[in-house]
Structure 1
Amino acid sequence: MSPFKLAAAELRRFRGHPIRTLALVAIILIPLVYGGLYLWFAWNPYGKLDQMPVAVVNEDTGASVDVNGETQQINGGDQLVDQLKEDRIFDWQFVSANKAAQGLKDGDYYMVITVPEDFSTHLASLSGTDPEQATVEFDLNDANGYVAGIMASTVEAELRNQINTAVYVTFATTIFGDLAQLNQGLNDAADGAAELADGAATAQTGAGDLESGLGDLTTGAQQVADGAAQVSDGVDQAVDVAQPVVQTLADNWTQIQTGASSAADLADRADTDLDTVYATLCTDNPDADADACARLQTFITDADGANTDIQAANDQIQSTSTDTLDQASEDLTTLQTGASDVADGASQVATAAATAESGAGDLADGLTDLHDGAATLASKLATAAESVPSTNPADDADNAEAYGSPVAVSEQNLNPAETYGRGLAPFFIAIALWVFGLMAYLVLSTVNQRALAGPLRSVPIAVGGWLPGAFLGVLSAIVLYLAVELGLGLNPKDALDTVGLSILVILTFTAMAHLFKLAFGTAGSLLLVVLLMLQLTSAGGLYPVETTPRFFQALHPLLPMSYVVDALRVTISGGETSHVVKALVILAVYLVGALALSSLVVAARRRWKPDSLNEPLQV
């Protein structure tokens, strides 16, 4: 007979009566009841903190502070209460001190937050020379549940942020007075600085254009200066030549006029005499030679022209006085001086244009600095305006994290579990599967007595006794996975690996349970309970194993549940595959080892003893 037939024979024992069938169904559902219900109730308790009643007692009487000669009323307690109303971390209950104390005692409140009457007074002292620290009281009662206090402490940082923000707003009021006016003033200043930056940018562009234009002007002025210098040099040369000549003419002009007059008279007489000669020789002489007369007439015509020019020149000479020539000499000197002055002026213009160009460059650089400075000022003023606390408690509640904790801690989780229940799922799934093995063999037989007395070998008998529990365990593991996945949203990173690993776990745990029950009978069940307790405390499912006593640290690598928890964490949340491979190897060793030992136990039990008929302990 094969082990499978032995297993089928064992399962057939539960036919015929509904109670028997229900017993098998109950065994299958045990992991679901244990693991599923526990994960259900603890899946995400921190997501419902806003349903935990917490009392808030505000006894603050407020305070008066002097701000710029004016009395300013502040009340940090009211500010904190208004912020808490906007941020429902807990189910806030704003009550009197007596009611809060009685409620904490009776268990109506899990925590009491008290703002003392001198809260604002101490805050106001921060602006003086003798500052005092303000306090807020937190009262807990572990009689209402120690874990509730731990849960409350997990959001203590957020509570401190809200308290610090209320302090920040109140203290800023004691220093600056009306925060709304301060905020508006800083915003106006920021806008003005921004406009100044825009104007500086425009001026900067104009200065750049001016620098470019002055550069062109400098180039042109230098060219003019060079030309004026050349003209001045040419005038100097011309004057140096012409002025002595003019001065000599002026000195001898009277004689020149006399000579010119005489020359003019002589030319006029010669012209007249030539006309007389022509008349005598040609006009009045019939024997005159025509060719000679023609040549003579041509000569007389030329002489008339020369005489006309001489007479005109003489008239010009006679009309020019010595004073005119002296003035011309002086004008040449003036021209020489003026040309030199023009050259010097052109050079000065070129130099001034170069200086202006450099100044325009400095102006552009200065305007750039002005623009950058104005932009920085606008940014700083805007930042300062934003940092002024709002007078709206709702805004302050939203900004409490920034005000209360100016520096944020950037946290990265390589494989986030996301919820409390999902993080604990590997631990409680492992426990539930172990409990199945513990309970299964309270109902199932560990060995077929007929086969034990027959010729069948010990190994098939042992495997046949284990298979019914293994088969029901596989069904139980699948039911548990489906319930947690569909009901709670387990959403493992690798569903197939999670299911496959769970099946291997239940096969191993049922093999171990079968071994203990087979070897020790009822005492085996007790040993399985003890082993469960040891694994609960050493598997590292709740706390890091390094934080446990050395006894449990020593047990950690020896017991299978440690590897099951590590491997399920990887298949559910992600992580190193090596943890899964290691767990598969360890579980396979435990499985094969348990079945081998079960076979040895079966072989030993085939030797009949008195205890074989009557077990010493039965439940």
Structure 2
Amino acid sequence: MSPSITSPFTLAAAELRRFRGHPIRTLALVAIVLIPLVYGGLYLWFAWNPYGKLDQMPVAVVNEDTGATVDVDGASQDINGGDQLVEQLKEDRIFDWRFTSASTAAQGLEDGDYYMVITVPEDFSTKLASLSGADPEQATVEFDLNDANGYVAGIMASTVEAELRNQINTAVYVTFATTIFGDLTELNQGLTEAADGAGDLADGIGTAQSGAADLQSGLGELTTGAQQVADGASQVSDGVDQAVGTAQPVVQALAENWSQIQTGASSAADLANRADADLDTVYATLCTGNPDADADACAALQGFITDADDVNGDIQNANDQIQSTSTDTLDQASEDLTTLQTGASDVADGASQVATAAATAEDGAGDLAGGLTTLQDGASTLASKLSTAAESVPSTNPAEDAGNAEAYGSPVAISEDNSNPAGTYGRGLAPFFIAIALWVFGLMAYLVLSTVNGRALAGPLRSVPIAIGGWLPGAFLGVLSALVLYLAVELGLGLDPKDALDTVGLSILVILTFTAMAHLFKLAFGTAGSLLLVVLLMLQLTSAGGLYPVETTPRFFQALHPLLPMSYVVDALRVTISGGEGAHITRAVVILVVYLVGALAVSSLVVAMRRRWKPDSLNEPLQV
């Protein structure tokens, strides 16, 4: 043995130096590094999100519905659920719909041009129309598949069957609603117009309510003024009562003695005339033409005569009035006083009634204003309810119905919460295919790399360093391969793991463990070890739970599940990529370390056994 080979690392370096020189040997190492990328990366690429492109899968739609006629409010109305369904599907392109004839669809399904055929039978509308009668029938829509065109394609079509059923149910809903209720669009328009009318009514009532409030205010002022008038009229009536009570007896007494008063007045008038004439005579006798007359006395006498003339004039006027006034006039005056008293009382009563009526009218105006307010609130509520009702009436417009397909076709929604969503199909399967790709690397690496250095076996270096030195080249290239695979999936496909460092670290531990196991099998069994690695790969593919829950697999695979390392790799990568309990990562790390150490330990024992030369050690029983 060369003195330079003193550690596992020098053994690994020596193994890798074997591939220098010729380009083919260098390319062999590059190919080994790229094996996980080719296997895992390409597979994830093509299967990353197939369900996101279902609208590119051609599906034939055959509409053979002949329509039907129904009686709506005494009038015949044509319906065609098939046409409604076709319009519904055009608005929501779940698949690449191809609307064609039955013969073309059947031939296309047989030839593989269509993955599915949806057929609306000719009695579709007839059976829908029967829903409004006493003998309803269930309408059917036919789905035809052909697994010869790809079983998985049929599975993919089935995954959206629920959504497709919603579209069909929506078309049925619209057709059935038209059958039962007539044209819902007209109902919607009618309710909208009624809502507008109720709104106008509410506005008009608001104006009337404002006028009623003004009327109430005016009647309040009128009531105050009327009450003041009533109080004044009552006071006037009381004053008239007092005046009449005093004056009427006097007038009545005058009427009874009026003849005597007239006689006395006549006598007084005669007496005043004679006295006035006598004074004139005295003045003429004493003062006129008498030089001895006392001038002062004559002047004073003349003053008395003037006054007497004035008094006599008044007496004569009074006598004329007394003489011209008859007893009937005084009786009429007495009656007029009674009438005045009655009228004043009536005016007082009327004014009081007016005040009372004004107060009643004021209260009524208040009640009217309150009633109009309530009526306005009711009209506003009616307008709101009618508007809501109009909005809640579904339209029979296919474009609008398509947007409401999920609500109409499936009235009850399921609220789903995914704690750690994987997102796309490929991201959900990434843990499984990354694990497979890393295992395939170990399988392929030791088809090119040597598992043990022959010179080291014959030298003094211990078995453990020799075993580790045989494993390290594959481990080193495996780490490069794992990093290349991760970068390609992350940058090329958008893996976007929840914890990138844990994903990379776990991938490195996985490749170290898998290469150690591949090194062990190839070291111990030679070419047969590669076959055993393939068998072990198959067992892990079926028992790791990467595609289906392990509980759904046969008991044999359930028993293998906890024994093989890939089960723990898939479980841990799901957590690092999509999220979950960290305990799964810890458990996987422990299991992988146990497998890694165990594989290296057993490899060391195999190396120790290989150092005991036997005749068959020089020639393997099976070579490829």
Which bin holds the TM-score, normalised by the shorter protein? 0.7 to 0.9
Using the alignment, how far apart are the partners of 2:96 and 2:229 within structure 1?
95
Which one-letter code corresponds to 1:216 in the other structure?
S
Find out whether 1:507 has 2:512 as its counterpart. yes
Using the alignment, how far apart are the partners of 2:306 and 2:21 within structure 1?
172
Could you tell which deviates more after superposition, 339-348 or 161-170? Answer: 161-170
Equivalent pair of 2:499/2:576 in contact (CA under 8 Å): yes
Unaligned 5+ runs, structure 2? 1-5
- C-alpha displacement at 1:440, in angstroms? 1.6
Could you tell which deviates more after superposition, 424-433 or 456-465? Answer: 456-465
2:61 maps to: 56
- C-alpha displacement at 1:381, in angstroms? 2.9
2:566 maps to: 561
Q: Secondary structure at the match of 1:57?
A: strand
Task: Select 1:531's aligned residue among 532, 536, 549.
Answer: 536
2:244 maps to: 243
Which one-letter code corresponds to 2:153 in the other structure?
A
2:196 maps to: 195
- C-alpha displacement at 1:106, in angstroms? 4.5
Superposition map of 1:128-527 within 5 A? 128-175=133-180, 179=183, 183=185, 185-217=186-218, 219-224=220-225, 226-228=227-229, 230-231=231-232, 233-235=234-236, 237-254=238-255, 258=261, 321-322=329-330, 323-384=332-393, 387-390=394-397, 397=402, 399-527=404-532
Equivalent pair of 1:189/1:378 in contact (CA under 8 Å): no
Could you tell which deviates more after superposition, 454-463 or 469-478? Answer: 454-463
- C-alpha displacement at 1:456, in angstroms? 3.5
Using the alignment, how far apart are the partners of 2:60 and 2:50 within structure 1?
20
Relative distance call for 1:143 and 1:192 in structure 2 (3 A) is closer
Relative distance call for 1:573 and 1:268 in structure 2 (3 A) is farther
Equivalent pair of 1:538/1:556 in contact (CA under 8 Å): yes
Could you tell which deviates more after superposition, 322-331 or 473-482? Answer: 322-331
Using the alignment, how far apart are the partners of 2:430 and 2:313 within structure 1?
138
Using the alignment, how far apart are the partners of 2:442 and 2:310 within structure 1?
155
Relative distance call for 1:412 and 1:267 in structure 2 (3 A) is farther
Equivalent pair of 1:200/1:368 in contact (CA under 8 Å): no
Which one-letter code corresponds to 2:211 in the other structure?
L
Which one-letter code corresponds to 1:330 in the other structure?
T
2:3 maps to: none
Task: Select 2:19's aligned residue among 9, 14, 17.
Answer: 14
Relative distance call for 1:201 and 1:394 in structure 2 (3 A) is closer
- C-alpha displacement at 1:477, in angstroms? 1.0
- C-alpha displacement at 1:346, in angstroms? 1.0
Q: Note the alpha carbon deviations across 1:480-522, whole angstroms, 9 max, x for none.
A: 1222233333333444443333223222322333344344544
- C-alpha displacement at 1:9, in angstroms? 1.4
Equivalent pair of 2:61/2:117 in contact (CA under 8 Å): yes
Could you tell which deviates more after superposition, 596-605 or 7-16? Answer: 596-605
Using the alignment, how far apart are the partners of 1:57 and 1:221 within structure 2?
83
Equivalent pair of 1:56/1:94 in contact (CA under 8 Å): yes
Using the alignment, how far apart are the partners of 2:309 and 2:224 within structure 1?
53
Equivalent pair of 1:246/1:329 in contact (CA under 8 Å): no
Equivalent pair of 1:218/1:357 in contact (CA under 8 Å): no
Relative distance call for 1:315 and 1:617 in structure 2 (3 A) is farther
Q: Secondary structure at the match of 1:55?
A: strand
Using the alignment, how far apart are the partners of 1:314 and 1:208 within structure 2?
71
Q: Secondary structure at the match of 1:25?
A: helix
Using the alignment, how far apart are the partners of 1:262 and 1:237 within structure 2?
39
Which one-letter code corresponds to 2:378 in the other structure?
D
- C-alpha displacement at 1:175, in angstroms? 4.6
Q: Note the alpha carbon deviations across 1:561-580, whole angstroms, 9 max, x for none.
A: 23332333333334455544
Unaligned 5+ runs, structure 1? none
Q: Secondary structure at the match of 1:329?
A: helix
Could you tell which deviates more after superposition, 587-596 or 497-506? Answer: 587-596
- C-alpha displacement at 1:245, in angstroms? 0.4
Tell me which structure has the larger Cα radius of gyration: 2
Q: Note the alpha carbon deviations across 1:340-378, whole angstroms, 9 max, x for none.
A: 221122112202320232133113212321231133123
Which one-letter code corresponds to 1:346 in the other structure?
A
Using the alignment, how far apart are the partners of 1:71 and 1:42 within structure 2?
53
Using the alignment, how far apart are the partners of 2:451 and 2:322 within structure 1?
161
- C-alpha displacement at 1:151, in angstroms? 1.2
Count of residues paired in the alignment? 604
Using the alignment, how far apart are the partners of 1:90 and 1:225 within structure 2?
86
Q: Note the alpha carbon deviations across 1:182-209, whole angstroms, 9 max, x for none.
A: 62x3354234213312212212322431
Relative distance call for 1:303 and 1:532 in structure 2 (3 A) is farther
- C-alpha displacement at 1:213, in angstroms? 2.3
Relative distance call for 1:562 and 1:227 in structure 2 (3 A) is farther
Q: Secondary structure at the match of 1:206?
A: helix
Equivalent pair of 2:174/2:396 in contact (CA under 8 Å): yes
Using the alignment, how far apart are the partners of 2:70 and 2:323 within structure 1?
109
1:25 maps to: 30
Using the alignment, how far apart are the partners of 1:558 and 1:319 within structure 2?
153
Relative distance call for 1:615 and 1:77 in structure 2 (3 A) is same
Superposition map of 1:523-602 within 5 A? 523-599=528-604, 601-602=606-607
Equivalent pair of 1:250/1:325 in contact (CA under 8 Å): yes
Q: Secondary structure at the match of 1:117?
A: coil
Relative distance call for 1:56 and 1:206 in structure 2 (3 A) is closer
Which one-letter code corresponds to 1:117 in the other structure?
E
Using the alignment, how far apart are the partners of 2:547 and 2:453 within structure 1?
40
Using the alignment, how far apart are the partners of 1:407 and 1:518 within structure 2?
62
Using the alignment, how far apart are the partners of 1:64 and 1:336 within structure 2?
85
Which one-letter code corresponds to 1:199 in the other structure?
D
Q: Note the alpha carbon deviations across 1:399-434, whole angstroms, 9 max, x for none.
A: 544443344444444443332112211210111011
Relative distance call for 1:60 and 1:284 in structure 2 (3 A) is same
Using the alignment, how far apart are the partners of 2:599 and 2:612 within structure 1?
21
- C-alpha displacement at 1:258, in angstroms? 4.1
Q: Secondary structure at the match of 2:567?
A: helix
Could you tell which deviates more after superposition, 222-231 or 442-451? Answer: 222-231
Using the alignment, how far apart are the partners of 2:585 and 2:339 within structure 1?
118
- C-alpha displacement at 1:28, in angstroms? 0.8
Using the alignment, how far apart are the partners of 1:584 and 1:398 within structure 2?
49
Relative distance call for 1:306 and 1:494 in structure 2 (3 A) is farther
- C-alpha displacement at 1:335, in angstroms? 0.5
- C-alpha displacement at 1:45, in angstroms? 2.0
Relative distance call for 1:531 and 1:313 in structure 2 (3 A) is farther
Which one-letter code corresponds to 2:342 in the other structure?
T
- C-alpha displacement at 1:146, in angstroms? 1.9
Could you tell which deviates more after superposition, 80-89 or 508-517? Answer: 80-89
Which one-letter code corresponds to 1:59 in the other structure?
E
Q: Note the alpha carbon deviations across 1:570-616, whole angstroms, 9 max, x for none.
A: 33334455544554444444434444454455456556666655555
Could you tell which deviates more after superposition, 29-38 or 514-523? Answer: 514-523
Q: Secondary structure at the match of 1:160?
A: helix
Q: Note the alpha carbon deviations across 1:3-23, whole angstroms, 9 max, x for none.
A: 322221121122233332222
TM-score, normalisation: structure 2: 0.82
